[in-house]
Amino acid sequence: METSAFGASLAGGSFDFMSFIKQPQTILRLLSWLFSIVVFATITAEGYVNTPDAQQAKCIFNENDSACSYGSAIGILAFMACVAFIILDAYLPQLSNAKERKYIVVSDLVFSGAWTFLWFVCFCLLANQWSHTTKQTGVPKDAAGAILAFSFFSVVTWALLTVFAYKRYSQGVGEVGLGYTDPAYDQTTPYPAYPSNAPTGSYQQSPFTNNTTGEGGYQPPSY
């Protein structure tokens, strides 16, 4: 019977692309990846506008460049994290070491929880700055709405990813247990011990043993 830990068998398994794509956690990662692209790409393309009283382009969210920079940074880091965790999710079932799996699952849990909070802060910050934006002439309102909407969607998807990561972590702790250790090679007993109850008559003399007493035995020449 194979022991499982953190959602897959400890003996390792093959990668099934179709089953992997259909997993809820994979779908959420792909949605988070898409939402992050929309946020930072929209901010980069339409998040800054030129105003008549300013020589440089200003952020559409109350001309607060820090708000746009924060949203772009969170989106770019979320984009790269989604790619990395999708690769790790595909690689996880092939790992037979429970400790390595635990490191991946804990990293997923911590990062997902942190990014849920950071996306929430991003949404609140951008929504607050947009509500205080007075100069909306020439400002792409559709772009601002898309940034706010997909920032909120990101909060939801990353919160669900945190829940999935926590369930997988709890499953691993419950199935592996505190006393589990990976099987190690015992160098002290490399071969099985000879059975003590083996019949003595089963022993046979080696055919290559010199027989110096019988006829035809080899006799050294005398000089």
Please check whether residue 4 lies inside any domain of the structure: no
Please check whether residue 216 lies inside any domain of the structure: no
Please check whether residue 2 lies inside any domain of the structure: no
pLDDT at 15: 65
Contact 166, 69 (CB under 8 A): no
Please check whether residue 48 lies inside any domain of the structure: yes
Question: Of the ranges 73-77, 164-168, 175-179, which one carries the lowest mean pLDDT score?
Answer: 175-179
Q: Distance (Å, rounded) from C-alpha 215 to C-alpha 87?
A: 76
Condensed to tens digits (0 to 9), the pLDDT of residues 75-104 reads 999 999 999 999 999 888 887 777 888 899
CB atoms within 10 A of CB 68: 23
Condensed to tens digits (0 to 9), the pLDDT of residues 98-152 reads 788 889 999 999 999 999 999 999 999 999 999 988 876 667 889 999 999 999 9
Residue 34 sits in which domain range? 25-175
Please check whether residue 8 lies inside any domain of the structure: no
The pLDDT-based confidence of 206 (bands split at 50, 70, 90) is low
Contact 116, 159 (CB under 8 A): yes
The pLDDT-based confidence of 176 (bands split at 50, 70, 90) is very low
Q: Radius of gyration over alpha carbons of the chain, in Å?
A: 33
The pLDDT-based confidence of 207 (bands split at 50, 70, 90) is low
Q: Distance (Å, rounded) from C-alpha 48 to C-alpha 96?
A: 49
Residue 66 CA: distances (Å) to CA of 7, 21, 41, 72, 126: 41, 37, 16, 10, 10
Question: Of the ranges 57-61, 76-80, 157-161, 202-206, which one carries the lowest mean pLDDT score?
Answer: 202-206
Across 52-68, average pLDDT: 85
pLDDT at 99: 85
Condensed to tens digits (0 to 9), the pLDDT of residues 10-48 reads 545 566 778 888 999 999 999 999 999 999 999 999 999
Please check whether residue 41 lies inside any domain of the structure: yes
0.85 surpassed by pTM: no
pLDDT at 178: 43
- Overall number of domains in the chain: 1
pLDDT at 97: 78
pLDDT at 68: 94
Contact 75, 147 (CB under 8 A): no
Please check whether residue 185 lies inside any domain of the structure: no
pLDDT at 181: 47
pLDDT at 190: 54
Please check whether residue 20 lies inside any domain of the structure: no
Q: Dig out the tokens for 212 from the structure.
A: 């110096």
Q: Which of 115, 108, 116 is nearest to 91 (CA)?
A: 108
Q: Distance (Å, rounded) from C-alpha 24 to C-alpha 63?
A: 39
| 137 conformational bin, left if phi > 0, alpha if psi -120 to 50, beta if neither | beta
